Amino acid sequence: MNVKRTKLCLCRSLLLMAGLLFAVASFAQDLTVKGKVTDTTGETVIGANVTVKGTTNGIITDIDGNYTLSGVKPSSVLVFSFIGYKTQEIPCSGRKEINVVLSEDAQALDEVVVVGYGSLSKKELSSSIVQVDRSKFLQGSMNNPMEMLTGKVAGLTVNNTAAANPNASSSLQIRGATSISASNDPLVVIDGVAGGDIRNLAAQDIESMTVLKDAASAAIYGTRGANGVILITTRKGAGEAGRAQVTYDSWFGVNLVKSGPDILSADEFRRSRRATDYGYSTDWYDLLLRDFSYDNNQYLSIDGSTKNGYYGASFNYKKATGLDLNSSREEFGGRFVLNQRMMDGIVELNGSLNARRVNEVWGNDGMFDTALSMNPTMPLYNEDGTYFQPTSPTGARNPVQELKEIDNNGQRVYLLGTAEVKVNLIRSEKQMLNTSLSYSLHYNDLKQHYYTPSTAGESYWNGYNGRAEVTYQKWYTSRLEWLGNYSLDLGDHNFKAMVGYNYEQTTWERLQAGNSDFNFDDILWNNLGSGSYLAKGKASMGTGKSLAKLIGVFGRVNYNWKNLLIASASIRYEGSTKFGADHKWGAFPSLSLAWEMANMGFLKDHQNIVQSLKPRVSYGVTGRSDFDCYQSLATYGSHKNAQLNVTDTYLMDGAWVTGYAPSVNANSKLGWEKSVSMNIGVDFALWNRLRGSVEWFDRQSRDLLYNYTAPQPPYIYSTILVNVGTTVNRGIEVSLEGDVFKGTPVEWTSGINYSYGTTKLDKLSNSLYKASYVELYQKPGVGTSEYFFRVEEGSKIGQFYGYEYAGVENGDMMIYTDEGKKVPVSKADVKYKRYIGNGTPTSYLSWSNTIRYKNFDLSLMFNGAFGFEIFNMRRYGMGLKGCGTDNVLRDAYGKDADITTGGGVISSFFLEKGDYFKLDNLTLGYTITPKENKFIKGMRVYLTAKNLFTLTGYSGNDPSAVAINGLTPGVDTNSAYPSATQLSVGLNIRFK
C-alpha cells in the first residue's frame, strides 16, 4: 500500500515536473525582453534598432531609449545598432531585461544608406552617393520639402526664385545642365516610386533624402537617371509594442518683405517731366504687398508597433499667404503606413497611402513690373470709388485692381499609394533570400478656374464684359514591380545580388473650355455657356491625352572582400513607347570599385589617425527621356490659318469638312539622350574628428535632342527632332565635416561643401543634320528677334551673346565693332555681337555649423555662388532716362544721368557680377526634458530665421533669387517676386 502510494506520488511528481518543464519550455519560446539603450555619456539613444539576429523580428527604442521586444527565444542573439554607433550583438541567455551602452563609431561606416532598389552600409559604397538624415535637414517654413537639402550636398543646386510665394517651387539640378531640349531635373523617387511629387509629403514625414550623383549609382534607373536621382525615404511606425507614440509638430512663420527697387518718387517724377502729371502720389509697388504674410504648419503623427509589425499615421494642415495681395495656398494632408509579418516572419505585408488636397490662389508676378514702371502720379481710384483704368500705353492695367479683382485659383489632389507582399525564403546568419511584388499608383489632378471681370483692364482693352476659363488636367502613373534579393556571407567574401522587373504606364489628360462677354460678373466660371462669344464662334475649347509605357529588367551585384575591396556592377535593359520604332530598347551598365586602405596592414596600427581612407572609381551609362510623347511619330492635326485665326475646312460632298494632315516629321530612330560618366573620388575619416570626400567627374551627354533643318523631300516639314549633339560636363566636389569641439561642454560641428564645374557643347552637327549654333531665351518685346544666349560647338553653356559696352560719348552709349572700334549703339550691327559673359556659376560654396550647449542648439547655414554674371533686366528696361517706361530707376537721373541713348539692346553694360555669400538659415533651439509625468515625454522649441542677409556687389534683386539652373541662367527678370526675411517659431511635443 505504502509502495503503491509511493509510486503514485512519484508518478504525480514526475507528471507535475514534466508539466512545469513544458510550461517553462513553452514560456522560454516566447520571452518578452525589455531594456534601455544609452550612449557612453548616459544619454538615451532614441530610435536605436533592436532585432533578433537572423530574423525580421525587431523594434526601435522610444523617446526614453526603452524597448520591449516579444517573441524572443532564450538562445536568440539580440542586435543593437544605431547610426554613428558600433553595432553590438548580445546573447539573450534567457534574460528578460538587457540594458545596452552603445559606443560611438567614429567611422560611422555601419550607417545604412538607401540606394536604388535597396540599401547598403556606408562602408559598402563604391560610388558617389550622399544621404542626409532628418537630423541635418534645414528647419523653418518652406514651399518645397526639397529646400531642406539646400547647401547639404556638394553638386546639388536648390534654386528658388520666389521663396516667399507659397505656390512657387524649387528648381533642382545635380552637377549642371547638359541637355538642350529635354529636362535637366533629377529623378525623384519616393519610397521606391519613381516620379512621385515631393509636394505630396509633409516635411515631417521624411526620414532621409539620398542623392545619387554619378552614373554608376543612377544607372539602375536607365533612361531616367542621366540628371541624377534623389531618393526620398519616409518615416515608418515605431515605439513600444501595444503602445502608441504621439508627436505634435508645429511652426508659424511671418514674412518680412525686403526693400524694393529704388525708383523715382512721385515728386521726382514730376520734376523729371517724363509723362503727364495726374496730381496724385501713388506708391504702386507698396500697394501690391500684404500688410501681413504668414506660414502656418500643423502636424500630428501616431506611430506604434505590434508583436508582428508596425503602423503609422500622420495628419498635416498648412496655410500660407504670399507677399502679394492675392497668392495663398492651403493644404490638407494625411498619410498611413502599415507592416504586418506572418508565418513566423516568412511573409510580410506592407502598405502606404499619402493623400493631399491643395487649394491654390495665384497672383500675377508681372504686376510687380507694371507697378515699378507705372506713372506714380496716377490715382488708384476714380472719384466715384471705382478703380482707375490707365488709357496709355496700350494694354496698360491697374496692377492693384488686377490682383484684387481677377479670380485665378485651382484645386489639386495628390495620391500616392503602394501595396507590397514580401516573402523571406531564407533567413540565416550566412544567407538571406527574399522576393517581393508591389503595386503603386501616383495620381495628381488639377482643376483651374479663371475669371477676369468686366471692369478689369483685360476687358477694357479687348472690348468684352469679362472672360472665364476652366481647365482640368490629371496625371497618373501605375507601376508593377518585382524584386529579388540574395546575400551570402562566406567570411572573407560577401555577396549581395538584386534582380528586378518594372512596368510603368503614365497617362495625362486635359480638358479646357473658355468663353467671354457675360451679362453678370457674379456667376464667374460657373455658367460658361452664357457668354456671347460661344454664339459668335469665338469661344475656346480643347482636350488632350497622352500615354507612355516603360518596361525595364535590371540587376546589381555587390562584392566585399575583407572590407578591403568593394565592387558593384549593375545593368538595366529598358524600353519605352516614347522612342522610335527602330530604337525602343537600350542597355545601361555601370561598374564601381573602391579600396578601403584603412583596413590594410600598414594602416591598422594607426586607427587613431585614419579611420577610413577609401579611393573609388566608377563608370556608368544613363539615359534622359523626359520629353513629350509621340515625338517619333507622324501625328496628325488640323491646319490653322494663322492670319485669319480659323481652322481650314474643305467642301466635300456638299459639306465643309476639317482637313487633317501629318503635323510633324516622323523619326523612327528617335531615342533617349545618353549620359556616359566617369567619377573618381576618395572618402575619408581622420582623427575621429574629420570626415569628407573629394571627387572629380567627367560626364558626356550624347545623342542630344534638337530640332534640325530637314531635307525636303523626303520630309514634309522643314524641321525634325533628332539625336545628334554632345555636351561635356566636368568638375570637382569637396565635402568636409569636422568636430571643432568634441566632448566639451560646448560642442561644435562644422561642414563645408564646395563644387566647381563647367559644361561645354562639344558637338552640334553630323553629316546629315547641321546647325551652326543654338539661340536661347528670346528678348521680350513686340517684334524682337534677339536672344540672350548663344551656344555653339566648343563654347560653354550659359553664355550671354550681345554687344560689348565701350563707354559713353556725348550722351551716347558706345559699343565695340568686330574690328575693335567704338560706335554708338544706334549703329549696332549683328556682326558686332560676341560672348559677353556667362550666367552659370562656376563655383558653389556652403558652410554649415551646429553648436550645442546643454539643452541649447544653434545651427547656421551659409550659401554662396561665384564666377558668374547677371543680366539686370530691371536696369535694361527702366535704368536709363531714354527707356520707354513711364517711371525709371533713380540711377537713371543719378550715376547714369549722362547716358541718353542705349536702352533696348543686349550689351555688357547691363551685366554685373552675380557673386554672393549669404546667411541662409539660422535656427536656435531648446530641448525641454519634463519632470516625471503621465503625458509628455519631451519637448523642443526653436526659432528660425531664413534669408537674413546677403553679401554681394550686384545692384538688382537678391542674386540668390535669380534663376541659375538650366540653359538660360542669370537673367534677373523685371517681374521678380519680392524677397523676404522669414521668422518662424516651432514646437515639437512627444507624448507618452
Is residue 292 pLDDT above 60, yes or no?
A: yes
Give the C-alpha separation, 629 to 475, whole Å. Answer: 14
- Point out the least confidently predicted range of 235-244, 299-308, 457-466, 760-769: 235-244
Residue entry with cell 521586444: 69
Instruction: State mean pLDDT over 359-382.
Output: 95
* 52 vs 16, more confident: 52
Of 697, 674, 700, the closest CA to residue 214 belongs to 697
How much is the average pLDDT of 691-704?
Answer: 95
pLDDT greater than 90 at residue 230: yes
**Residue 13: what pLDDT?**
40
Q: Judge whether residue 49 has pLDDT over 60.
A: yes
Stretch 542-552: mean pLDDT: 95
* CB-based contacts of 837, cutoff 8 Å, min separation 6: 799, 800, 868, 869, 871, 908, 911, 970
pLDDT for 325 equals 95
Is the Cβ–Cβ distance between 641 and 649 less than 8 Å? no
pTM of the model: 0.86
Q: Report the candidate in 111, 119, 82, 107 with the shortest Cα–Cα distance to residue 212.
A: 119
For residue 913, the model assigns a pLDDT of 97
Concatenated DSSP letters for 105-170? -TT-TT-EEEETTEEEEGGG--S-EEEEEGGGS--S--SSGGGGGTTTSTTEEEE-S-TT-TT---
d(CA 66, CA 37): 6
**In the predicted model, is pLDDT for residue 354 greater than 70?**
yes
CB within 8 A of 926, min separation 6: which ones? Answer: 855, 856, 857, 940, 941, 942
For residues 961-987, give the mean pLDDT: 93
- Residue range 658-680: mean pLDDT, rounded: 89
Of the listed ranges 133-137, 544-548, 696-700, the one predicted with least confidence: 133-137
In the DSSP assignment, the letter for residue 930 is: P
% pLDDT > 90, the chain: 69
- Give 21's pLDDT tier (boundaries 50, 70, 90): very low
> Do 583 and 671 meet the contact criterion of CB atoms below 8 Å apart?
yes
Mean per-residue pLDDT for 703-710?
90
* Whether residue 635 has pLDDT greater than 90: no
Determine the 3-state secondary structure of 356 from DSSP: strand
Please give the pLDDT value at position 81.
Answer: 83
Closest CA to 186 of 199, 202, 170: 170
pLDDT value for 15 = 38
* pLDDT above 50: residue 23: no
Phi first, then psi: give them for residue 930, nearest 5 degrees: -70, 160
How far apart, in whole angstroms, are the C-alpha atoms of residue 632 and residue 244?
Answer: 54
952 pLDDT above the threshold of 60: yes
Judged by DSSP in three states, 831 sits in helix
Q: What is the pLDDT of residue 29?
A: 57
Which pLDDT score is estimated for 84? 61
Q: How far apart are CA 411 and CA 404, in angstroms?
A: 19
Alpha-carbon span 436 to 844, nearest angstrom? 41
**Owner of C-alpha cell 549609382:** 217
User: What pLDDT, on a 0 to 100 scale, did the predictor assign at position 219?
Assistant: 95
pLDDT of residue 140: 81
The residue type found at 637 is G
pLDDT at 19 over 60: no
The predicted pLDDT at position 7 comes to 41
Taking residues 90-116, report their average pLDDT. 79
- Of the candidates 350, 357, 352, the residue with the CA atom closest to the CA atom of residue 316: 357
Q: How confident is the model at residue 641 (pLDDT cuts 50, 70, 90)?
A: low
- For residue 839, what is the enclosing H or E element? none
Report the pLDDT value the prediction gives residue 9, as an integer from 0 to 100.
Answer: 42
**Mean pLDDT value across the chain:** 90
Name the residue among 221, 167, 207 with its Cα closest to residue 330. Answer: 167
809-844 pLDDT per residue, tens:
999 999 999 999 999 999 999 999 999 999 999 999
The stretch 256-277 carries a mean pLDDT of: 94
Q: Check pLDDT > 50 for residue 11.
A: no
Lowest mean pLDDT among 56-70, 294-308, 411-425, 731-745: 56-70
Return the pLDDT at 1: 39
Q: What pLDDT, on a 0 to 100 scale, did the predictor assign at position 239?
A: 64
**pLDDT band at residue 240 under the 50/70/90 scheme:** low
Q: What is the mean pLDDT of residues 119-130?
A: 90
Q: Sorting pLDDT into bands at 50, 70 and 90, what band is 63?
A: confident
Grid cell of 159 as nine digits: 534654386
The helix or strand, by DSSP H or E, that contains position 832, with its residue range, turns out to be none
Q: For position 41, what pLDDT does the model report? A: 63
pLDDT (mean) for 47-76: 83
Percent of the chain with pLDDT over 70: 94
Helix (H) or strand (E) holding 877: helix 873-878
Q: How confident is the model at residue 627 (pLDDT cuts 50, 70, 90)?
A: confident
Distance CA 81, CA 627 (A): 44
Nearest to 562 by CA among 89, 123, 217, 85: 123
**Would you state the cell numbers that stand for residue 278, as one nine-digit string?**
495726374
Amino acid 25: pLDDT: 40
Which tens digit of pLDDT belongs to each residue from 421-430? 999 999 888 8
Helix, strand, coil share of the chain (percent; to 5): 10, 50, 35
pLDDT tops 90 at residue 157: yes
